[in-house]
Structure 1
Amino acid sequence: MKRFTPFAAMALLAGCTSFKSFTAFEPATPADYTGPTANVADQVMVISAQRLHVFEITQVDGRRLASSSMASKRAGEGSGMTLTPVALTNELPLRPAQVKLQATTQYASPMLAMANTSCRTVGEVSFTPTEGKRYIVTGQIAAKACEVWIEDAATGQPVTEKISGPGTER
């Protein structure tokens, strides 16, 4: 049986301290940013007590954000076969950014997900928020296409390109 040497133990621990946890989330606005921000809200559509359509930002300039799909999953834990929708919002600096958007179908259980149609489309878009504007992440989940984009909340006009993927038709 081999034993760990002190050197091996130190190397292992050094690796642990430099490893960035997969569960670490960061704010959409960097800590060193002090200027104005714009509000960007995720959207969670209730389709049934067991199914949600979620349109969300999951990253801004490579920073991983807490997501509405995970918040909804956690909020519904212990409530049996029902989901609790939670739509998060993010404050973004008023400067160009690369944002990762996601459109996904969320079910109350893995068995429901396996037995029903679903969608998951993810992609990056360029986005520059404007002062005084509010935005919403929106999209569609349909048989022919699964799409997600950001639009101006007041006008309903898209302000980013659309990320498109295959629909729920099998």
Structure 2
Amino acid sequence: MRAGAALAGLALAGCASLEPATPPDYTGPTANVADQAVQVSDQRLHVFEMTQVDGRRLATTSMATVRASQGRGFAVAPVALTNELPLRPVRVRLQATTQYAAPVLALTNPTCQVQGDVAFTPEAGKAYRVAGRIAAEACEAWIEDLASRQPVTDKVPGKGIQP
């Protein structure tokens, strides 16, 4: 019983270290940045998400999807999160990843995971989303203007889908 309580405590401590994208002392305007969870099949998603802002760890679409998919067997229930960023230059960590309904599926199916940091300065009145590409030749992520679908950050590049 004690081991279970210790594990539960560690899990809660891990959640406690997650922070909002906008610092608590920031009172100015913000811009919305949405993650994407693209359903490829009942069992597989391509997730494009922001995982950190200026070194602060965020709650992620990947984590929310795992929680929403618990108890669903080999079916994945995508949950895409959004974050509000201050209208000032920030450093964000982006990730593109293949996410399966169950970890065992990743052992026998192609996967992709790439992450990296990019500079980003959100503008007033604009909405953004984390976008990317997961393909045989490349896995990459970037932030794009939601209205124009044009990239507004550098791309985080990576190797293509790995068998």
TM over 0.5: yes
**Alignment partner for residue 154 of structure 1, among 132, 147, 156?**
147
Q: Distance in 1 between matches of 2:94 and 2:14?
A: 18
Q: Distance in 1 between matches of 2:76 and 2:139?
A: 21
| Aligned residue in 1 for 2:3 | none
Provide the aligned C-alpha RMSD in A: 0.8
**Alignment partner for residue 53 of structure 2, among 52, 60, 70?**
60
| Aligned residue in 1 for 2:91 | 98
Considering only CA atoms, is the larger Rg found in Structure 1 or Structure 2?
A: 1
**Are 1:41 and 2:34 counterparts?**
yes
| Aligned residue in 1 for 2:18 | 25
What is the total number of aligned residue pairs between the two structures?
A: 150
Q: Distance in 2 between matches of 1:109 and 1:89?
A: 24
1:167 partner amino acid? G
Contact 2:112 2:162 in 1 (8 A): no
Where structure 2 has 5 or more consecutive residues not aligned to the other structure, the ranges are: 1-12
What TM-score, normalized to structure 2? 0.90
**Are 1:75 and 2:75 counterparts?**
no
Give SS of 2:68's match.
helix
1:22 is displaced (CA, Å) by: 3.4
| Aligned residue in 1 for 2:157 | 164
**Are 1:124 and 2:117 counterparts?**
yes
Where structure 1 has 5 or more consecutive residues not aligned to the other structure, the ranges are: 1-20
1:111 is displaced (CA, Å) by: 1.6
**Are 1:114 and 2:107 counterparts?**
yes
1:34 is displaced (CA, Å) by: 0.3
What TM-score, normalized to structure 1? 0.86
Contact 2:69 2:77 in 1 (8 A): yes
Bigger shift: 117-126 or 107-116?
107-116
Q: Distance in 1 between matches of 2:65 and 2:103?
A: 15
Q: Distance in 1 between matches of 2:100 and 2:162?
A: 17
Structure 1 runs (4+) greater than 4 angstroms displaced: none
1:13-44 deviation per Cα after TM superposition (whole angstroms, max 9, x unaligned): xxxxxxxx433210000000000000000000
